[in-house]
Amino acid sequence: MPSIWAAPQIRVATYNASLALNTKGELAAVLRPGTYFRAKQVAEMIQIIQPDVLLLNEFDFDVNGTAMTRLNDKYFKVSQNGRPPQNFPYRYTAPSNTGTHSGFDFDNNGVVDDTPGDQGYGGDAFGFGEFEGKYGMAVFSKYPIDVDAIRTFEEVLWRDLPGNLLPTSWYDEDERGVFRLSSKSHWDVPIDVDGRRFHFLVSHPTPPVFDGPEDRNGRRNHDEIRMWADYLTEGASGYMGANFPVGERFVIAGDQNADPVRGDSVNSAINQLLNHPKVNASFVPERSGTSSESAKYDTATFSLRVDYVLPSLAGFEVTGGAVFWPSSPQPGWNLFGASDQDHRPVYLDLEMLPFAHEVIRNLTLIVGNEIVTLEWEGETDLGYEVQGSSDLAEDSWVTLDGLEIVWEDGVARVEIARSAAKEFLRVKLVDP
């Protein structure tokens, strides 16, 4: 029986595209003719990088997703300067806390500004934005999105995070009762890649600047990043109203506005993810063009590493990646230049490694007088081992050595002497 497992190879990218304009609905309008210069530049970068899954930060939200559809259909799918067109038939966007009116004087200037269009209004919104949906997010995918399984966390309250850094000297009790933790939103977007699933965990924490000695933005940035760390930690995400599914893959992506060692972030906030036991942060993307040794990991023109693609330790192997920052004459070197283009795209190439439940099927136990037999359908090109336990405690499982796995027509068979068998048996993958 031929193997059904062919390890999918995917490229996952994030980019703060600076597609945030001045008024509500403006982005969708300017994208309509297919001639908006900034969008053509973004599209050409994406056509050079050719990601399979893409997050765009700073992409204005509209309730019908019109801007997102037009960017795909009139820019990504249309060759820019001879680059290969890209199509993302699966897309997702949702409301953002940016520009969502709070009814409170969050910036403590003595005025509750409920008129969209200026910084005063933005300062009193749940996340800074001069109108509702500014600085939003959008996910583009060449693979199906399980829309029904998406989780969004934009309404989680900051005060509900245990041990939070919410500055009580700045926000009064009533404000703390409504203040949301996520400055834009946090989305868990499940994506199906040829029958293999991963969770795209996307966000865009507030920059840890533009505040005062109370450091309200720096504190919020830290706790927004912590939100994903808690989501991945069993027993730590109760305040979010959901737990991350045990034993599944994920990729964290977005402009996190935090560098591991430099900048204004609180307590090296990003290290909550870089050092998380479920995150593989061992591969650090480098700039694709010429750079100094000290700047080779920077993802922004303000000399910090702030944009990340971080896969789960389990279920992926990192095979490559880069910060798309070409030098002349590399393709795309001339696509940056405007003052607001301060970020660069970041991408990783990932091979999806199998989990046991994806490749071990119809596991059967046959108990005889002298022999216990295990049979299962699987993939002959993968490695397996049989383990036993007397009480199901995780630290009690031991590998049963000296067993021979015999394959016939895609079915594995292992015989174990009853005297050597444990009360509980399981089959595990090794060296996938």
CATH of the domain at 151: 3.60.10.10
Identify the domain boundary among 324, 353, 382. Answer: 353
Identify the domain boundary among 353, 382, 417. Answer: 353
For residue 313, being part of any structural domain is answered with yes
- On whether both 277 and 362 belong to a single domain, the answer is no
For residue 113, being part of any structural domain is answered with no
DSSP at 254:
E
CB of 104 closer than 8 Å to CB of 175: yes
DSSP at 360:
-
319-376: per-residue pLDDT in tens?
A: 999 999 999 999 999 998 765 789 999 999 999 999 988 889 999 999 999 999 999 9
Close Cβ partners of 316 (under 8 Å, ≥ 6 residues apart): 198, 249, 251, 280, 350, 351, 352, 353
Which pLDDT value is given to residue 340? 75
Q: Are strands 186-193 and 196-203 parallel, antiparallel or unpaired?
A: antiparallel
Mean predicted confidence (pLDDT) in 57-73:
98
Kindly list the distances between the CA atom of residue 24 and the CA atoms of 19, 39, 67, 138, 140, in Å, as whole numbers in the listed order. 12, 17, 11, 16, 21
- On whether both 296 and 403 belong to a single domain, the answer is no
Tell me the whole-structure pTM to 2 decimals: 0.94
For residue 170, being part of any structural domain is answered with yes
- On whether both 224 and 367 belong to a single domain, the answer is no
For residue 2, being part of any structural domain is answered with no
For residue 83, being part of any structural domain is answered with yes
Which pLDDT value is given to residue 338? 63
C-alpha span between 387 and 177 (Å, rounded): 51
142-181: per-residue pLDDT in tens?
A: 999 999 999 999 999 999 999 999 999 999 999 999 999 9
- On whether both 379 and 231 belong to a single domain, the answer is no
Question: Is pLDDT above 80 for 432?
Answer: no
- On whether both 307 and 415 belong to a single domain, the answer is no
Question: Is pLDDT above 90 for 2?
Answer: no
Per the DSSP assignment, residues forming a β-bridge with 249 are 198
Q: What is the secondary structure of 67-128 as a DSSP string? A: HHHHHIIIIITS-STTPPP----EEE----SBT-B-SS-TT-SS----STTSHHHHHTBSB-
Identify the domain boundary among 331, 353, 375. Answer: 353
Kindly list the distances between the CA atom of residue 428 and the CA atoms of 323, 333, 383, 384, 411, in Å, as whole numbers in the listed order. 36, 47, 8, 6, 15
For residue 377, being part of any structural domain is answered with yes
125: Cα within 13 Å, side-chain hemisphere: 27
Which pLDDT value is given to residue 5? 66
DSSP at 201:
E
C-alpha span between 267 and 126 (Å, rounded): 24
11-50: per-residue pLDDT in tens?
A: 999 999 999 999 999 999 999 999 999 999 999 999 999 9
- On whether both 239 and 255 belong to a single domain, the answer is yes
Mean predicted confidence (pLDDT) in 221-249:
97
- On whether both 312 and 369 belong to a single domain, the answer is no
Close Cβ partners of 383 (under 8 Å, ≥ 6 residues apart): 429, 430, 431, 432
- On whether both 267 and 406 belong to a single domain, the answer is no
C-alpha span between 409 and 1 (Å, rounded): 5
- On whether both 170 and 257 belong to a single domain, the answer is yes
DSSP at 364:
E
**Number of compact structural domains in the chain:** 2
CB of 30 closer than 8 Å to CB of 364: no
C-alpha span between 234 and 20 (Å, rounded): 36
- The CATH number of the domain where 413 resides is what? 2.60.40.10
Its domain, for residue 255, covers 9-98+133-353
For residue 432 the two structure tokens come to: 């996938």
259-317: per-residue pLDDT in tens?
A: 999 999 999 999 999 999 999 999 999 999 999 999 999 999 999 999 999 999 999 99
- On whether both 295 and 416 belong to a single domain, the answer is no
For residue 143, being part of any structural domain is answered with yes
Cis amide leading into 329 (omega within 30): yes
258-275: per-residue pLDDT in tens?
A: 999 999 999 999 999 999
Which pLDDT value is given to residue 1? 35
For residue 155, being part of any structural domain is answered with yes
- On whether both 363 and 341 belong to a single domain, the answer is no
For residue 362 the two structure tokens come to: 């119809």
- On whether both 248 and 323 belong to a single domain, the answer is yes
